[in-house]
Each structure stands twice: as structure tokens, then as C-alpha cells.
């Protein structure tokens, strides 16, 4: 198990750790139980959470025993944002989101064998705790001057809005989680993002005060960033969610396929389960032939399969090829086609009209005259069939699933028309 530390360091997964030598010794001495927490502040995890989920998977494969905590208690408060107070969700909403997040995390872990995973909920040890007990048994051991040094707290104190006592107390709740898991399961390692370092060390400090002989550790992963300065996991349409109803498998696949060449090596090392040799080969291909996007394709296929399954991944890849004339559009199911076309410029019309009108209206060309030139030059396609004449009008029978036309100018410029009046 000690080899996992070297593997994580090579992959760039370790941003901070409390004592690497002590952690290596703990791993060498026997099985280690660790935990990572996820707060249900939304109905789904997003791709940023994959860093933690897949690191848990990696640690379990190395022999450690994972505790996946979905915070039914902490989710009702939320870790303070650096900018503003969170909107509090009602307890029933949070409870529903707990179940949704559990269902997303469970497929990544194994619940069998000597190091079987366990799902836990911190509402189990906070629901019956009175305010007096919490303040006497937990709050007594925290020092406000140290709590004030946490980055998000310090920023909020400098803002006009300030910070509520509710969000300020979040550190106490997360610290208590580590203590409870240490006492209930023998958990000695907490894993989280580097932005959670203050919360991770709060748990360590609490355990050291109440269990002075305990040997406990913390390990933080780096925050994923994008080379262009935009936030990882965000697009113009918002966050990239793991829930297929919130982000389609097609959009999920395209997010990774469109990764910047400067980022893809980092993403692969942190998120992929391919070997070092495979990753180094993909890095070489990116350097020598970036236009082939071999690394992006490998990453997109692996992560889409992990999150959405092999069948959905195959459907997405088939759709990607078919849109550009490398497969049969008619073979795509309605849902996959609709998801793919939602990612390209598209319009709705009540009835079919001339191809040149549709090309201009959807924005593939600047004008109808430009559309006529495109047709004349042989660069206009409807459902991957070259448009033969400038006066062509699609027939009702041409509509895919009774409503879609896929328009293409040249090899790469796509758009879609949805016909609503047929």
C-alpha cells in the first residue's frame, strides 16, 4: 500500500499532506480506513467532484477502506463561500439530495471484500445532539483566532456582507465528523480538496485534543484549473453535472473532448486509471500530433464510461461520428440525437422551407445568397446528404425521428433545425 503514495505524487494528486513519512508508516503497518465528505448542496455532483470520487476509488484499489460521507447535517449549512452566504435548503430537500449523491458515488466503490466501502451520513450523530452538548463537547476545543485564519472566513470578514455564525460554525461540524468516524470506524485519514485544508486540519486538531494517542492524517488533492483562466467544470451553459438529466452524456463527453492541449495531460494523470506508460504515450501524441486529439478522446471515452456506462458511451461516440458524416444519423436514438443537437446552433420552425432559407436562418451562412453559393460549390449537406440544387426543399420523410434536420456546411460547421408543425 505504501506504493500508492508514490503513485499519487507522480499523478499530481497530492497537493498537501500532514506528514508524508507518518502516512507511509501507517500504510505499511496495516489497513487504513479513510474518509471523504460530500455536501448535498445541489441535486447532483459535478465533474469537479470526480477528483475526490476517483481518488477514493484509487485508494480503495490500493487496499485502503473508504468511508464515503454524504453530509445530511453539513449539507443543511454548507461550507462558507468566499463571496456570499449560501441559500439554506429545507431539510427534506437536503435529504433527497443525500440519496441522489449516494447513488452517484456508490458505483465507483466496492462494497465487498476485506476493505469494503461504507456509506455514512453525519446527520446520524448530529440529529440528536443538543446545542448545549455541541458547544460543551465540541465547541470548547476550537479556538476562534485560528478559525478566523481560514481563507473563506477571512475574505468574508473583509466583505460588506460578513459571515453568519451558521456558516462560521461549519468547521466545528466537519471537525466533529472526523472525530466520530475515528471513534466509530477507526478512521485515521481524511481526504479532501486543498480548498478544504482548514476543515481537514480542524478535524485533526479536535482528535488530538480528545484522543491524544491517536495517529491521524490528512491528504488534500489540488484544485483543478483550466489553462485559459476559466473555472474547471464550467461551460457557457453552466456546470457539467454527473446526472444525465442535468448534463447529457453527449455534453459530458464533449466537455472532455474539447479539453485544452495544455490541460489534458493533467486531467489524465489525476482522473484516468490508465498506466504510466499509456499516459506518457498519450502525452507524446499530444505533443507531436495535437490535431489528432488522441489524449482528449481517450479521456472522454474513459470518463464517460465510468460515469454513464459503456452503452451510453458507444451511443455518444456514434452520434459524434454520424454528425460529421462518418455514420448513419438514422441509427441514432431520439434522445441521443436530441442531446447532440442541443450542443450545436439550432432553431425551431413550424414548417419546412427551402434549404437556403434554413441555412441562413440558423446562422450557418450570412445570407441566402451565401447559402446558394455554398450549395453551388457542393458544401451544403442535409442529414449528411449533399444538397443537389439551390431550390431544394426537404421533405417530411427527411425528418429524423419526425422532427430533426441536421445541416452541415463543409466538414465541420453544424447546425440543426427542429420542425414543430408536422
pLDDT digits (tens, 9 = 90+) for 55-92: 999 999 999 999 999 999 999 998 888 788 888 999 99
407 pLDDT above the threshold of 60 = yes
Give the per-residue pLDDT at 1: 53
Give the per-residue pLDDT at 2: 54
Q: Identify the band that residue 240 occupies on the pLDDT scale cut at 50, 70 and 90.
A: very high
Q: Compute how many other C-beta atoms are within 10 angstroms of the C-beta atom of residue 226.
A: 16
Query: pTM surpassing 0.85?
Result: yes
Q: Identify the band that residue 214 occupies on the pLDDT scale cut at 50, 70 and 90.
A: very high
Give the per-residue pLDDT at 421: 77
Cell triple for 377? 460549390
164 pLDDT above the threshold of 70 = yes
Nearest to 11 by CA among 63, 47, 48, 59: 59
Q: Identify the band that residue 158 occupies on the pLDDT scale cut at 50, 70 and 90.
A: confident
Least confident of 55-59, 141-145, 242-246, 299-303: 141-145
47 pLDDT above the threshold of 60 = yes
Q: Evaluate the CA torsion angle 341, 342, 346, 347 in order and state its sign.
A: positive
Q: What is the pLDDT of residues 314-361, one digit of tens each?
A: 999 999 999 988 999 999 999 999 999 998 999 999 999 999 999 999
Q: Coil, helix or strand for 55?
A: helix
End-to-end alpha carbon distance in the chain: 62
167 pLDDT above the threshold of 70 = yes
Q: What is the pLDDT of residues 120-152, one digit of tens each?
A: 999 999 999 999 999 999 999 999 988 888 888
Q: Compute how many other C-beta atoms are within 10 angstroms of the C-beta atom of residue 244.
A: 18
Cα–Cα distance, 321 to 318 (Å, whole number): 5
Give the per-residue pLDDT at 354: 95
Nearest to 252 by CA among 347, 336, 329: 336
Least confident of 41-45, 135-139, 154-158, 238-242: 154-158
Q: Evaluate the CA torsion angle 126, 129, 133, 137 in order and state its sign.
A: negative
Torsion of CA 94, 189, 305, 289, to 10 degrees: 130
Torsion of CA 94, 171, 164, 42, to 10 degrees: -30
Amino acid at each position: 500500500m505504501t506504493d500508492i503514495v508514490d503513485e499519487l505524487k507522480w499523478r499530481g494528486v497530492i497537493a498537501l499532506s500532514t506528514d508524508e513519512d507518518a502516512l507511509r508508516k501507517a500504510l505499511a503497518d496495516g489497513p487504513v480506513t479513510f474518509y471523504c465528505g460530500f455536501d448535498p448542496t445541489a441535486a447532483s455532483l459535478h465533474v469537479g467532484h470526480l477528483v475526490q470520487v476517483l481518488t477514493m476509488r484509487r485508494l480503495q484499489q490500493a487496499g485502503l477502506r473508504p468511508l464515503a460521507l454524504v453530509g445530511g447535517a453539513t449539507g443543511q449549512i454548507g461550507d462558507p463561500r468566499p463571496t456570499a452566504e449560501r441559500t439554506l435548503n429545507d431539510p427534506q430537500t437536503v435529504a433527497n439530495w443525500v440519496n441522489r449523491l449516494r447513488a452517484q458515488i456508490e458505483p465507483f466503490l466496492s462494497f465487498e471484500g476485506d476493505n469494503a466501502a461504507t456509506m455514512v451520513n453525519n446527520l446520524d450523530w448530529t440529529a440528536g445532539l443538543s446545542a448545549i452538548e455541541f458547544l460543551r463537547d465540541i465547541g470548547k476545543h476550537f479556538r476562534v483566532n485560528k478559525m478566523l485564519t481560514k481563507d473563506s472566513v477571512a475574505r468574508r470578514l473583509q466583505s460588506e456582507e460578513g459571515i453568519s455564525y451558521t456558516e462560521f460554525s461549519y468547521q466545528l461540524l466537519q471537525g466533529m465528523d472526523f472525530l466520530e468516524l475515528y471513534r466509530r470506524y477507526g478512521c485515521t485519514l481524511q481526504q479532501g480538496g486543498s480548498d478544504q485544508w482548514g476543515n481537514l486540519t480542524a478535524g485533526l486538531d479536535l482528535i488530538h485534543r480528545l484522543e491524544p494517542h491517536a495517529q491521524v492524517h490528512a491528504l488534500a488533492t489540488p484544485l483543478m484549473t483550466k489553462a485559459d483562466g476559466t473555472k474547471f467544470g464550467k461551460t457557457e451553459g453552466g456546470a457539467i453535472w454527473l446526472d444525465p438529466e442535468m448534463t447529457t452524456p453527449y455534453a459530458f463527453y464533449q466537455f472532455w473532448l474539447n479539453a485544452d492541449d495544455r490541460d489534458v495531460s493533467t486531467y489524465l494523470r489525476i482522473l484516468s486509471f490508465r498506466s504510466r506508460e499509456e499516459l506518457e504515450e498519450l502525452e507524446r501524441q499530444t505533443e507531436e500530433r495535437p490535431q489528432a486529439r488522441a489524449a482528449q478522446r481517450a479521456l472522454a471515452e474513459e470518463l464517460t464510461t465510468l460515469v454513464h456506462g459503456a452503452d451510453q458511451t458507444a451511443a455518444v461516440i456514434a452520434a459524434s461520428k454520424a454528425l460529421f458524416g462518418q455514420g448513419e444519423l438514422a441509427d441514432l436514438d431520439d434522445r441521443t440525437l436530441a442531446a447532440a443537437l442541443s450542443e450545436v446552433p439550432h432553431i425551431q420552425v413550424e414548417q419546412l422551407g427551402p434549404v437556403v432559407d434554413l441555412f441562413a436562418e440558423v446562422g450557418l451562412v450570412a445570407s441566402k445568397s451565401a447559402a446558394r453559393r455554398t450549395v453551388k460549390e457542393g458544401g451544403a449537406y442535409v442529414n449528411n446528404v449533399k444538397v443537389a440544387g439551390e431550390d431544394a426543399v426537404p421533405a417530411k420523410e427527411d425528418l429524423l425521428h419526425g422532427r430533426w434536420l441536421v445541416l452541415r456546411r463543409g466538414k465541420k460547421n453544424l447546425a440543426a433545425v427542429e420542425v414543430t408543425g408536422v
